[in-house]
Amino acid sequence: MGVVVDPGVSPEVAGLLRANAPLLSRIRAGWVPPAEVSSPRPKSPTSAALLAATPVMVALMAVLLASPVRPAAFVLLGVYVFIVLVRIASMNEATAWRPEAGHRPYDRGVYEQARWYDGRYLLPEDFDQEAGAVLLRAQRAIGSVLRSHVNAEGLLDDARNAVMLPAQEWEIARLLAKLSALRLEHRELLARGIAPEVAAVIEPLERALVNSEAAVVARVEALERYAAHVAEAERAFHARSQIEELRARLPRYEELLAESGADSLAVPEIERLTDDADVLERTLRRSVQSAHEAFRYLEG
């Protein structure tokens, strides 16, 4: 079932939320990722020693440069400069900003988006078992329509499908989440025991829950009818495509039959392809028209 996101949320953020259901559950439960802090390493004794030795090294090199062993002074100077440069590089790395142990910057990004868009996404735990099953039916119907070739080819109103069907999914999910929460509260109330004076009030509340669920299920059934019409159009679309492919090959078959002298026996059977294609074309048009009518029912 996964995370259901309000279609008004940008696709980038919606994708981030859908990909992090376990993390969103932790955030909702109160988990907060730790903030990034700096963790510089303490200065080592080596740094202090290098700093203290610098005047001594300068004086020693001055003496050596004035003596007959000047090449040794240049070698000593090069070694010392190399050591200092290596130490500076290691100190820069040690004082870099580091996150606390176990913290990932990615978690902070998910946390900030989850807080900002709170109320515009729903998690699997927002639905009880009955509501989850109804939502799954709706998602399957919507997915089958949006993934169909007849929708991709524009035989349906693909633009309106892309807008309206996600909106239907969100509205159904929102109602089912609210229904699940009320049902849970109602069951907890009943578990504590009901006084006789309260029983008369409980019955209309229970009817309200049942009627609300029936209304949501009716929406889902309308989606499923629409998906069934689209599936019929999809079958006709694929069959028509296959017939058209065979018709394109027909001249080669006719040529082979003529050369072999068997055309009088088989040509009538092959020519049925034209009739079959016409039948499938009419079937496809009827199926698409039925899907459009079912779509208009959804809008109502």
pLDDT recorded at residue 22: 94
Whether pLDDT at 136 is above 60: yes
pLDDT recorded at residue 156: 77
Whether pLDDT at 88 is above 60: no
Place of tokens 């070694």: 79
DSSP string covering the chain:
---EE-TTS-HHHHHHHHTTHHHHHHHHTT--PPPPEE-PPPPPHHHHHHHHHHHHHHHHHHHHHTSS-HHHHHHHHHHHHHHHHHHHHHHHHHTSEEPPTT--HHHHHHHHHHHHTTTSEE-GGGS-HHHHHHHHHHHHHHHHHHT-HHHHTTSS-HHHHHHHHHHHHHHHHHHHHHHHHHHHHHHHHHHT---HHHHHHHHHHHHHHHHHHHHHHHHHHHHHHHHHHHHHHHHHHHHHHHHHHHHHHHHHHHHHHHHHT-HHHHHHHHHHHHHHHHHHHHHHHHHHHHHHHHHHHHH-
pLDDT band at 98 (very low <50, low <70, confident <90, very high): very low
Neighbours of 217 (CB within 10 A): 16
Least confident of 64-68, 116-120, 179-183, 292-296: 64-68
Are 266 and 257 in contact, with CB atoms under 8 Å apart?
Answer: yes
> What is the rounded average pLDDT of the residues 209-218?
93
pLDDT band at 101 (very low <50, low <70, confident <90, very high): very low
Mean pLDDT of the chain: 78
Whether pLDDT at 298 is above 80: no
Report the C-alpha gap between 28 and 228 in whole angstroms.
38
Are 204 and 158 in contact, with CB atoms under 8 Å apart?
Answer: no
Report the C-alpha gap between 51 and 80 in whole angstroms.
12
Whether pLDDT at 118 is above 80: yes
> What is the rounded average pLDDT of the residues 115-119?
94
pLDDT recorded at residue 250: 72
Q: Which tens digits make up the pLDDT trace of 248-267?
A: 777 787 777 677 766 555 55
Q: Which tens digits make up the pLDDT trace of 8-43?
A: 999 999 999 999 999 999 999 999 888 765 444 555
Whether pLDDT at 150 is above 80: yes
Distance, CA of 145 to chain centre: 18
pLDDT recorded at residue 209: 92
Q: pLDDT above 70 covers what percent of the chain?
A: 67
Six-digit token pair at 1? 């079932």
Highest mean pLDDT among 68-72, 141-145, 231-235, 241-245: 141-145
pLDDT recorded at residue 76: 60
Neighbours of 95 (CB within 10 A): 13
pLDDT recorded at residue 100: 46
Whether pLDDT at 74 is above 80: no
Length of the chain: 300
pLDDT recorded at residue 277: 60
